[in-house]
Amino acid sequence: MVTASTPGRVEPGPASDPRPSDPRPSDPRPSDRRLSDPRPAGRRGGSPLLRLVGQARGARGRLAGAAVLGGLASGCAVALMATSAWLIARAAQQPPVLYLMVAVVAVRTFGIGRGVLRYLERLVSHDAAFRVLGRMRERLVAHLAVLAPAGLPLWRRGDLLSRMVDDVDDAGDAFLRGLLPLAGAVLVGGGTVVLAMLILPAAGAALAGCLLVACVLAPLITARWTARTERQVVRQRAQRARLVNEILDDLPEVTVLGALDGRMAELDSVEREHRRVTISTARAAGLATGLAVISMGAAVWLAARWGVPAVVDSDLDPVLLAVIVLTPLALTDVVQAVGFAASTLRRSAASTGRLFAVLDTRPVTGPEPSDPLPFPRDPGGPMIRLRGVCARWPGAQRDALTDVDLDLVPGRRTVLLGESGSGKTTLLAVLLGFLTPTAGTITVDGADVAELDAEEVRGLFAWCDQRAYLFDSSLAENVRLARSGASDEDVAAALRVVGAGDWLDSLPDGLATRVGEHGQAVSGGERQRVALARAVLADRPVLLADEPAAHLDPATADAVTDLIMQPTPDRSVLLVTHRATDAVLGDALLEMLDGRCRPLRVPAGSGTIATP
């Protein structure tokens, strides 16, 4: 299939067009149903973070290795503190210098090892996280391709971009700044408690209690404070991205209408609220950090409280007193990382939930057949027949099409009249495979499209939209979008067929002329001729034209429509329009009203649609 507009774009959608004129719900025949419910799926069970870990298949070994390396790096920091304390205390006793050489070498080893292991941990953890994020983005894009274009209006402009960038980055933080620091803290904290227990059980018990306060109680205290604010941060960030995107996209219109100040005030309000929530989150993080420092200070005091009497009673070597008193100080950074990890995981959970909300949305198209039938190849062109077709947009409460019958016969030009919202574009979306019917059948030369290869079915159609999208590239490349291997001669010939030869000859750079961003350098009529040239270059057996005369002056509109409706023996044309003057151009004339299609004129002897 080749489109002459934005690839995968359908103008109406439930987010911007609730379709109040859609017909009442149909009663589809169960045997013909393709999608039982095309609305978005509800939330699946399970924590978003657990589901995110499930996406780490293939990288779990690296993540486990990164956790071990991080634990060893933090362990080197603790060992460095403990060894340094022992060395200083032992050196104060002025033993022979050789007694200190092992400790001196150990200090150097732990000092170097901490930096080297932390560097390796960063390499391994980021490699693993980026693999998971890359796989997550691939899944999102692949799923959006299945949803496009009918399912994309479920999200506001800019929201999907925020999910693809900011929310995916937050998902990566769940590993880098959440789960891995927690795993390292468990390894190092447990090892340090065991060391303290071996030296002085009372000091080890005190250290274990202080670690529980800093790593469990403090995050729980701040959890109720920050759980809601972290979700607000994610929502406000998405809202800000959406507003900025909409303001930039609609800047000319809102400026002319004098609405720019209002939109900027709305953006400023979002920014103020975002700052307020961020300050609240920072206060909670500061509280958690303060509790961590106080807890480790308490561990030092308690170690001294029980260690000094033990030394006096000769139950503890004085040198080891320095070890159990100073070692908890090395855990301060580890404990602070735990508080930050808890806050990060809450934000990551909110962001990851938004990602899975997209992935859990049911496709609006039916599943591909596992064993597709051979595609029918009629040299005279395909006969496409719709019988009893019903269709519904995602999120809608009722069908937009009800019991539609339509025949697209080679050589026949069909005009479909109807007001906006009557279901005309929905019918095109169904034909193009963007939206799977909830009931009814569509056949190509007698073969059900549900049992054919979807790409081959789409390859039957060329689509000319009411406002064709032009890329900021050359004229040749914009036309060549329909057939990538076409030569410049083929492109020029297609332009001349659609009546753009004089315009092409007048361009100083010819086919190399750039059309500007969004095609701003060309007029509306020239844009539509580029769209038609794409359809001509594609040379597909069925041409679907969706309001091609929209936004054009009457003379240009008539010229474009006449070009579309030129008779071709092996090609069928479906012209969707609301202009009553186009009715005389077709061999068959249909009217769409409230999602139902009724014939106004059909070719004599067709026997497919009865004239009322």
pLDDT in tens, 168-196: 888 888 898 889 998 988 999 999 999 99
pLDDT of 611 over the 60 cut:
no
What pLDDT was estimated at residue 385? 92
What pLDDT was estimated at residue 496? 87
pLDDT digits (tens, 9 = 90+) for 421-434: 888 888 988 898 88
pTM of the model as a whole? 0.71
pLDDT of 218 over the 80 cut:
no
CA distances from 196 to 105, 201, 205 (A): 22, 7, 8
pLDDT of 366 over the 80 cut:
no
Residue 358 and residue 163 in contact, taking contact as beta carbons nearer than 8 Å: yes
pLDDT interval class at 320 (50, 70, 90): very high
Single-letter amino acid code for the residue at 523: S
602 dihedral zone (left: phi>0; alpha: psi -120 to 50; beta): beta
- The residue-averaged pLDDT of 524-550 equals 84
Q: Please state the separation of Cα 242 from the chain's center in Å.
A: 14
pLDDT of 151 over the 60 cut:
yes
Helix, strand or coil, per DSSP, at residue 38: coil
What pLDDT was estimated at residue 227? 67
- The residue-averaged pLDDT of 18-26 equals 34
* Rounded distance between C-alpha atoms, residue 437 and residue 402, angstroms: 10
Strand 588-593 relative to strand 572-577, pairing? unpaired
pLDDT of 341 over the 80 cut:
yes
pLDDT digits (tens, 9 = 90+) for 40-55: 444 455 688 888 888 8
- The residue-averaged pLDDT of 526-549 equals 85
What pLDDT was estimated at residue 36? 35
Helix, strand or coil, per DSSP, at residue 289: helix
Return the HEC string of 328-347. Answer: HHHHHHHHHHHHHHHHHHHH
CA distances from 297 to 216, 239, 363 (A): 17, 42, 56
25 against 110, higher pLDDT? 110
- The residue-averaged pLDDT of 119-145 equals 90
Residue 388 and residue 405 in contact, taking contact as beta carbons nearer than 8 Å: yes
Q: Name, in order, each residue with C-beta under 8 angstroms of 130's C-beta and a sequence gap of 6 or more.
A: 172
Domains of the chain, with CATH numbers? 2-6+12-39+381-601 (3.40.50.300), 48-359 (1.20.1560.10)
pLDDT interval class at 219 (50, 70, 90): confident
For residue 305, how many other CB atoms are within 10 A of its CB?
Answer: 14
What pLDDT was estimated at residue 397? 81
pLDDT of 34 over the 60 cut:
no
Question: CA 192, 194, 197, 203: dihedral to nearest 10 degrees?
Answer: 30
pLDDT of 273 over the 80 cut:
yes
Q: Which residue has the tokens 């169904």?
A: 430
* Rounded distance between C-alpha atoms, residue 69 and residue 63, angstroms: 10
E strand map for 333-383:
none
pLDDT digits (tens, 9 = 90+) for 468-520: 788 888 999 999 988 888 898 999 988 888 888 888 889 888 899 998 877 88
| Average pLDDT value for the chain | 82
Q: Cα 27–31–36 angle (5° rounding)? A: 65
pLDDT of 295 over the 60 cut:
yes
Question: CA 215, 301, 111, 108: dihedral to nearest 10 degrees?
Answer: -150
pLDDT of 60 over the 60 cut:
yes
pLDDT of 115 over the 90 cut:
yes
pLDDT interval class at 82 (50, 70, 90): very high
What pLDDT was estimated at residue 612? 37
For the chain, what percent of residues have pLDDT higher than 70? 90
Tokens (6 digits) for 292: 């961590």
DSSP 99-149: GGHHHHHHHHHHHHHHHHHHHHHHHHHHHHHHHHHHHHHHHHHHHHHHHTT
* Rounded distance between C-alpha atoms, residue 424 and residue 418, angstroms: 7
pLDDT digits (tens, 9 = 90+) for 543-600: 898 888 777 778 877 877 888 888 788 889 999 888 888 888 888 999 988 888 888 8
Q: Which residue has the tokens 């603790």?
A: 78
Tokens (6 digits) for 141: 């894009």
Q: Name, in order, each residue with C-beta under 8 angstroms of 147's C-beta and a sequence gap of 6 or more.
A: 154, 361, 363, 364, 394
For the chain, what percent of residues have pLDDT higher than 90? 22
409 against 33, higher pLDDT? 409
What pLDDT was estimated at residue 604? 58
